[in-house]
Structure 1
C-alpha cells in the first residue's frame, strides 16, 4: 500500500507535494417522513464561518467524501492509505482500496477473497491470502474498505437495490468459493450483506451519485479546496529554486482570476506547470479556456494536431454516450492510442490477473483506455465555451453543457449568449452564463480586446435580474470573480442589484468583494458570515466599507431551517443587547434588523433539528422584542423534555413578560399529545398578548382538546384556536365549537 499510494501523478509524490487541506463535516436535512427515499434528504450548504469551525467525526461506519473534480479526493485517500501503512491509523488492521471503474468487468470471475486480495491496491503486499482472508472475516470491524472512482457512474442506484434472495444466500455462504461479478460483490458490500460492521469510505462528486448516497451515510465530508496559504505552500513545494518561486508568486498575484483558479488543487497544479514555462510564453492565460489551451500546447508538438483531432472525435462520441471509455466497434490506430497515453489525455487501467480465476481468461492483458477530461481533471472545464487546441480553428472537445452542445465558432457563441432569456434562468444557469461571458470575451475576440469583452459583458449586465439570487448554489472563488465582473459592468451602465447569497457557501473574502461594490443596494448572506465580515472590517479600520456592509444587510424574510440559524440569530441579538462604544457606528442598523424584521419568525427546523434547537430558542425569545408571529410548526416538539411547559416558565417570568408581544403562534404538526396539551392549557391564560394559536395535526385526543377548550374560556383576548386532528372525535370537536366559536376546524 505504501508503494502503491506514494505517487500523486507523474513527477509528483505525496512526500514532496502533499498539502493538508480543510475537510468540512456536512449535514443532511431530512425533507419528509419517508427516509427510505434518497430525495427525502438534501445537503445543507454551510456558511464560511461554520465550515471553518466544523469538527470531524471519527467513529463512523459509512462515510461519504465528496468534492468537485480536481479537489483532491483521490490524493487525500492515498494519503490516508499511506498513513495507515505507517501505523498512523491503528483502529484498522486492513485497508482495501477498490476502484469504481472496475465495475466495467462484467464477467462473474471474482470471489470476495480475490476481489479484496487481487483487485484492490493492497494486492501486491499480500503474501498469505488465506490467513489474511480468515482474519478479515473474523473481525470486519477492523477493516476499512475504500471505494474511489464512482464519479462517472450513471446507475449507482442499482448497487443499492436489494439483491435476489438466492443471490444473497449464495453470497453469504459461498463468497469464497463461488465467483461473482464485480458489481454483485460491490453491491453486497455496500448493502452490508458481506462484511457487516466494516467501515466504508466512498468518494464522489457532489452531484449525481452523491444524491443517491445520502440516505446511507453516517458522515458526510467535503473537500474545501486550497486557501491562499495552501496555494503558497504548494508553490513553494513545486518550485524549489527560490528565484523561480518568487517569480511564480509574483506572476500569479498579477492575474487575479488565475490566482483564484488555484482554489482547485488540480487547477493549481496546471497553473504551476504554466508558470514553470512562463519565460517562454508571450502572455499568461487569463481564463480557464486559456489555461487549458496553454497546457495542451506545452504537451503537443506541431505534428500532433491531426492525432489530437481524431482523439477529440472519439472523446465527443464518449460524451454523447455518457461514457469515459473508448467506443467499441471502431478501428483506433495504435498511433492515436500511443499519442493519447503519452500526453495524458488517455488513461490506461490494467486489470490484474487473479491467480484464483477458474476460467482461462487473462484479464491482466487487457487495456481499458479511457478518455480523460484533459489532464486537469476539472469539472470547471465544463464551463468553457469551447476548448480550442489553437485559436486558428483547430478544435478540441466541446463538453456537453446546458447552453452549448455542438462545435461553435466565435460569432455563434456570441449570438447564443446574447439570445439567452436571462430573466428565466435558474440561479445555477445565471452563474454559468457569467462564466461563459467571461471566457468568451477573452477567448474569441481577437485575443480578448476590451471592446469585445465589453460587448458581451454589457449585454449580460443589462439583462441580469435586479433581484439576483444564488440561494442554494455553492459559489467558489472563481464563481464570485465572474459574478463580480458582471455586476461591475452593470454599475457602469447605471444598474444596481439586490443580492441573495444565503446558502451559497461563499467565502468571507468573496462576500467582502461583492458587498463592497457601490451598486449593491441590499444583500442577504449567512448571518454568522456577515458578522465575521463586520468584525474584520472593524478590526482593519475600514469604516466606510463597514458602514455599507452593515447598512445593506437584510434578513427579511427570515426562515430558521437549521440549528445554526438559531445560533446565528443569537449572535445578532447579543450584539444588539451587549452594545459597546465601538459598536456605535452600526448599532442602529442592527437594532432595526432585530426589532423590525423579526415581526414574523417562521422556525421550521424539522423532526431532527427541532428538539435540538428549541432550547436555544427559549433563551433567545426575550431578546426578540418586537416579535408578533412565531411559527413553530413541524418541529417535533412533542412532550419529551416538557417543551410546552417552558412556555409557561418564559411567559410568566416577570422580566420576560414586558418584552414579548406574541400575537400569533403556530405549533402545527409537532407531535404534541394530551400531556403537552394540558401543559399548554395551563399557560394560555398567562399569555395576555397571544391572539391566535394553531395546534392542528398533533397527537392530542379528546382529553387534550377538552383541556384546551376549557382554558380558552379564561383567555378573553384570544381570537382563534385551531386544534383539529384525526384523533379528536368529531362529536367532541363539534361540541367544543358550539361552546366557543373561536375554536376553528381550519
Structure 2
C-alpha cells in the first residue's frame, strides 16, 4: 500500500490521539514525494484533462475571495480534532489499499458483502493507482472499521485543499452522513451545501452557488460517517416523478429532505460531474452502494513501525516512552490490538498508569474495563451510560441520541470511542441489573448457529456480545466496582450468567458454524478463558472470505495451541482473508498444522522471507504443508499468482534453494481440480503453462471464459499431456466449428475422460458431426453435453440416437 499521513481517529466515530510533540510532522503543502495517497489519487487520475493540464476557469473577485475564506475556515476546522487536540502534533503514517469490486451472478445491480474482493497482502501492496489509469473516477468509497482513522484521513485531505494542494477543486464541501437522519423537508441544495456542511459563512451565497452549479466538475463532496444509515438502497431508487421534476428545476422555493438531496446527488440529478468521497464501515448496508462506486479504498491499520511511531509521539518523556514500548511488546495480544489506531490510543492511556507488564490487560475486555475505570468514577454516570449503550445496541446505533445529554465534560474527548468499545462494559451492568436469565441467553452469540444466516452482525453487536461474555469471567473484585447490587445478589447473578454462557457454548454444533462464526468463537473462548471449548473445534478450520486482522490471528493461534495441548492437529484455509504475512508465518510455524492454504503470492513471499533468514526447517514445512487443491480462479491476480508458482515448480523463477525444491512444489504436483471463471484475458497465459509439465489434472474447467476458436486450438495442442483428465468443461466459450474440429481430433488422446461439456457455444451441425465421429474412439466417455443453438434440432436428435452418451438440454 501507499503511505499516507493519518492520525488516530477524531470525530463522533473516531477519536484523535493525545497532542504531544509539535515536531511530529510538518504540515506544509505536500511536495512530490510527500503527498497522501488520496491526494495523489484525486490529482492524477480524476481531474487532469487529456492534455495533462489542470483546467482553470474564470472566477469573479467575490467568488475568489470566498474561496480563500473557505480555505482558511477549512484549515482551522481540519487542525482542530477535539478539545485542543491538533492534527499537527500526532500524525502517524498509515496505509491505504485499493480493493477490487467484482460482480457475481446475473443481476450485477444487487451487491452483497461477498462482492468486496478480499485479496492477499502482496496483491494489496501493488500500486494503489495502477488499475485506474484511463478510467473515469467520480465516486470513491473509503472503508475502515471503527477507530481506523477514516475521519482523520478526510481531515488531512481537507487540510491539503486549504493549503492549495488540490488546485483541481474550487469547492470542497464536508457533510456528515448522520445528517440523513434529519427528516424535515426544509432543505434545498444551496442550504445543504452552505448550512449543513463545514464551510465558511457566505455573504453572497447566491453568486457562489451559481458558480458551483456552473462547473460541478470542480466540486468535491465528502460524505463522512455513513455508518448509521440502515437503508442505503433507498438513496439509489428512482425519484418519484413530481420530486424528480422539482429537483431538476432547482427552485429555491422548493424544499426537500436531506435524504432526497443526497439521493439526487448520487443519481447525478444534482451536480452532475462532481466527485463524491464517501466513508463507511465495511460491513452492512454500505455494500449496496457498490454499483455507484468507481473506486474502493480501505484504511489498513497500523503496522509495527506505525505503533512505535505512535508511542514515540504520545509519550514525551524518553524514559516513559521506552518503558511503555517495552511493556507493550511484552503483552502480545495488547500489541496486536494496537493495529487499530483507536485501540492503540486506549492502550497508551493504560500504559500511562502501568509501570510493569503484569498489570496490563491481556484481553479486549480488560482493556475496556481499565479505560472505563480510569475515566469514570461516578456510578450515576456509569448507569446513564449503561442505559445509553444498551439502547444503542437494541437500535443498532453507535451514536448518542440528540435528545440525550450527559454532564461529562472531562470525559467528552473520549466519549465517542468509549461508546463504541468501552461502553460494551456498561452493558454488563445493565444485564446484571434488569435483564432476566432468558433475555440474557437470547443475547448470547450463535442463536441461529447455522451457515445460512444471511446477514453478518454489525460491529456494535458483535463487540457487545464478545465483551459481555468476557466480563462475566473477569476478575470478580474488579467487577464489583461496576455494579450496585449487594454482594450476595451480585455473586449469585454472576454465577448464574457464567453457567448459562458455559452451557450455551458447550451445546453448540461446531459443524454448523460458518467461517465468521468460528472466528467469533475463537474470540469468545479467549476473552472468557474458557479453554475447554476450543477442544471441540473442527479439524478443518476454513476462514475463506473472512477478513483477518492481527487480533483475529492471535485468537486463532490461541485456540490452535489449546488444541495442540490435547494432541489435536488442524488443516487451515486462509484464502481470501487478507491475512498479514507475519500472521501467516505465526500460524504455519505451529507443529500441529497438517496443511494450509492461503493467497499464493503471500505464501511465496513467506517462503522467500524464510529462505533469507536461514530458517530451513520452517521453510521445508511451509512448502510441504501448502496446498491449492482444488483451485478456482475468480480474479485475474489468481492466474498471475499461479503462473509464478508454476515457474517455481519448474525451477524457472525461484529464490529457494534446490534442496527445498528437489521434487518441485507439492502443491502443484497434487493439483487435480482446476477451474477458471470468466478470465478471458489471462487464460492464454495458463494454457502456455499447461504444456510445461504433467499437471495430473482430473478436472479442468474453463466455463464462460470466452476462449473462442483461438483458445480452443491452443488447448487442443496441449491436451495430449493431460492424460489423467476425467472431466473437461468448455461450456459458454464462443467456440465455433473451426475450434471444435481441432478439439475433436485431440480428445482421442484422453484415455480417462468420462465427462465433456460443450454446451452454449457457437457449434453448428458441421462441428457436431465432427464430434460425433470421434466418439467411437473414446470408450471412457460417459457424458457429452453438446447442446448449442446453432445445431438444428433434427441433427442433434439423430446424433443422440446414434450415441446415447450425447445428452439433451
Q: Do they fold alike, i.e. is TM over 0.5?
A: yes
Contact 2:328 2:357 in 1 (8 A): no
Separation of aligned partners in 2, 1:658 and 1:249: 61
- 3-state SS of 2:107 partner: coil
Query: 1:431 is matched with which residue?
Result: 519
- 3-state SS of 2:560 partner: helix
Cα separation, partners in 2 of 1:418 and 1:599, compared to 1, 3 Å: closer
Q: Does 1:620 align with 2:689?
A: yes
| Deviation at residue 513 of structure 1 after TM alignment | 0.7
- 3-state SS of 1:468 partner: strand
Contact 2:623 2:665 in 1 (8 A): no
Separation of aligned partners in 1, 2:178 and 2:544: 34
Q: Of the candidates 338, 345, 349, which is equivalent to residue 262 of structure 1?
A: 338
Query: 2:4 is matched with which residue?
Result: none
Q: Of the candidates 523, 531, 541, which is equivalent to residue 596 of structure 2?
A: 523
Q: Of the candidates 796, 799, 806, which is equivalent to residue 733 of structure 1?
A: 796
Aligned length: 677
Query: 2:785 is matched with which residue?
Result: 722
Contact 2:469 2:527 in 1 (8 A): no
Q: Deviations over 1:170-218 (max 9, x none)?
A: 0110254321111111111112111112111111111112221222211
Contact 1:471 1:504 in 2 (8 A): yes
Q: Of the candidates 62, 65, 71, which is equivalent to residue 148 of structure 2?
A: 71
Cα separation, partners in 2 of 1:282 and 1:630, compared to 1, 3 Å: closer
Q: TM-score, normalised by structure 1?
A: 0.84
- 3-state SS of 1:735 partner: helix
| Deviation at residue 493 of structure 1 after TM alignment | 1.1
Cα separation, partners in 2 of 1:725 and 1:711, compared to 1, 3 Å: closer
Separation of aligned partners in 1, 2:551 and 2:681: 36
Q: Deviations over 1:296-342 (max 9, x none)?
A: 222123xx11221122113212321334455699xx6x6xx113784
Cα separation, partners in 2 of 1:212 and 1:113, compared to 1, 3 Å: same
Separation of aligned partners in 2, 1:217 and 1:551: 42
| Deviation at residue 742 of structure 1 after TM alignment | 5.0
Q: Of the candidates 169, 178, 181, which is equivalent to residue 104 of structure 1?
A: 181
Q: Of the candidates 698, 708, 729, which is equivalent to residue 760 of structure 2?
A: 698
| Deviation at residue 419 of structure 1 after TM alignment | 3.6
Q: Deviations over 1:455-488 (max 9, x none)?
A: x21x123101111111111111001111111111
Q: Does 1:648 align with 2:713?
A: yes
Query: 1:499 is matched with which residue?
Result: 572
| Deviation at residue 550 of structure 1 after TM alignment | 1.2
- 3-state SS of 2:76 partner: coil
Q: Does 1:249 align with 2:325?
A: yes
| Deviation at residue 428 of structure 1 after TM alignment | 1.3
Separation of aligned partners in 2, 1:393 and 1:420: 32
Contact 1:469 1:501 in 2 (8 A): yes
Q: Deviations over 1:269-307 (max 9, x none)?
A: 111222223249981111111111111222123xx1122
- 3-state SS of 1:30 partner: coil
Q: Of the candidates 585, 600, 617, which is equivalent to residue 659 of structure 2?
A: 585
Q: Of the candidates 769, 772, 789, which is equivalent to residue 709 of structure 1?
A: 769
Q: Does 1:745 align with 2:808?
A: yes
- 3-state SS of 1:555 partner: coil
Separation of aligned partners in 1, 2:414 and 2:689: 57
Q: Of the candidates 612, 617, 621, which is equivalent to residue 539 of structure 1?
A: 612
Q: Of the candidates 152, 171, 183, which is equivalent to residue 94 of structure 1?
A: 171
| Deviation at residue 261 of structure 1 after TM alignment | 0.5
Query: 1:230 is matched with which residue?
Result: 306
Query: 2:738 is matched with which residue?
Result: 678
Q: TM-score, normalised by structure 2?
A: 0.78
Contact 2:534 2:562 in 1 (8 A): yes
Contact 1:632 1:666 in 2 (8 A): yes
Contact 2:607 2:656 in 1 (8 A): no
Query: 1:385 is matched with which residue?
Result: 468
Separation of aligned partners in 1, 2:683 and 2:732: 12
Contact 2:800 2:807 in 1 (8 A): yes
Separation of aligned partners in 2, 1:602 and 1:470: 21
| Deviation at residue 665 of structure 1 after TM alignment | 6.0
Q: How does 1:320-331 map to 2 (within 5 A)?
A: 320-324=394-398
Separation of aligned partners in 2, 1:645 and 1:21: 46
Cα separation, partners in 2 of 1:64 and 1:387, compared to 1, 3 Å: same
| Deviation at residue 658 of structure 1 after TM alignment | 6.3
Q: How does 1:253-652 map to 2 (within 5 A)?
A: 253-279=329-355, 283-301=359-377, 304-324=378-398, 337-339=406-408, 342-344=411-413, 373-374=421-422, 381-382=463-464, 383-385=466-468, 390-392=478-480, 394=482, 409-441=497-529, 456-457=530-531, 459-578=532-651, 582-588=656-662, 590-595=664-669, 597-603=670-676, 605-606=677-678, 610-629=679-698, 631-637=700-706, 639=708, 644-649=709-714, 651-652=716-717
- 3-state SS of 2:98 partner: strand
Contact 1:46 1:505 in 2 (8 A): yes
Contact 2:98 2:297 in 1 (8 A): yes
Contact 2:687 2:714 in 1 (8 A): no
Query: 1:367 is matched with which residue?
Result: none
Separation of aligned partners in 2, 1:530 and 1:200: 37
- 3-state SS of 2:380 partner: helix
| Deviation at residue 733 of structure 1 after TM alignment | 1.2
Contact 1:147 1:202 in 2 (8 A): yes
Separation of aligned partners in 2, 1:581 and 1:526: 18
Contact 1:299 1:343 in 2 (8 A): no
Cα separation, partners in 2 of 1:340 and 1:611, compared to 1, 3 Å: farther
Query: 1:199 is matched with which residue?
Result: 275
- 3-state SS of 2:246 partner: helix
Q: Does 1:158 align with 2:234?
A: yes
Q: Deviations over 1:228-254 (max 9, x none)?
A: 011111211222332222111111111
Q: How does 1:121-200 map to 2 (within 5 A)?
A: 121-122=198-199, 124=200, 126-200=202-276
| Deviation at residue 92 of structure 1 after TM alignment | 2.0
| Deviation at residue 134 of structure 1 after TM alignment | 1.3
Q: CA RMSD in A?
A: 3.1
Cα separation, partners in 2 of 1:463 and 1:62, compared to 1, 3 Å: same
Contact 1:266 1:376 in 2 (8 A): no
Contact 1:500 1:524 in 2 (8 A): yes
Q: 5+ residue gaps in structure 2?
A: 1-73, 426-458, 485-493
Contact 1:63 1:200 in 2 (8 A): yes
Separation of aligned partners in 2, 1:11 and 1:280: 30
| Deviation at residue 538 of structure 1 after TM alignment | 0.8
| Deviation at residue 412 of structure 1 after TM alignment | 4.0
Separation of aligned partners in 1, 2:241 and 2:144: 36
| Deviation at residue 689 of structure 1 after TM alignment | 2.2
Q: Does 1:60 align with 2:125?
A: no
Q: Does 1:117 align with 2:191?
A: no
Cα separation, partners in 2 of 1:298 and 1:622, compared to 1, 3 Å: same
Contact 2:148 2:340 in 1 (8 A): yes
Query: 2:456 is matched with which residue?
Result: none
| Deviation at residue 515 of structure 1 after TM alignment | 0.7
Separation of aligned partners in 1, 2:606 and 2:356: 41
Q: Does 1:83 align with 2:173?
A: no
Bigger mean CA deviation after superposition, 704-713 or 94-103: 704-713
Contact 2:303 2:339 in 1 (8 A): yes
Q: 5+ residue gaps in structure 1?
A: 349-369, 397-405, 442-455
Q: Deviations over 1:396-420 (max 9, x none)?
A: 9xxxxxxxxx998445444443343
Separation of aligned partners in 1, 2:762 and 2:308: 62
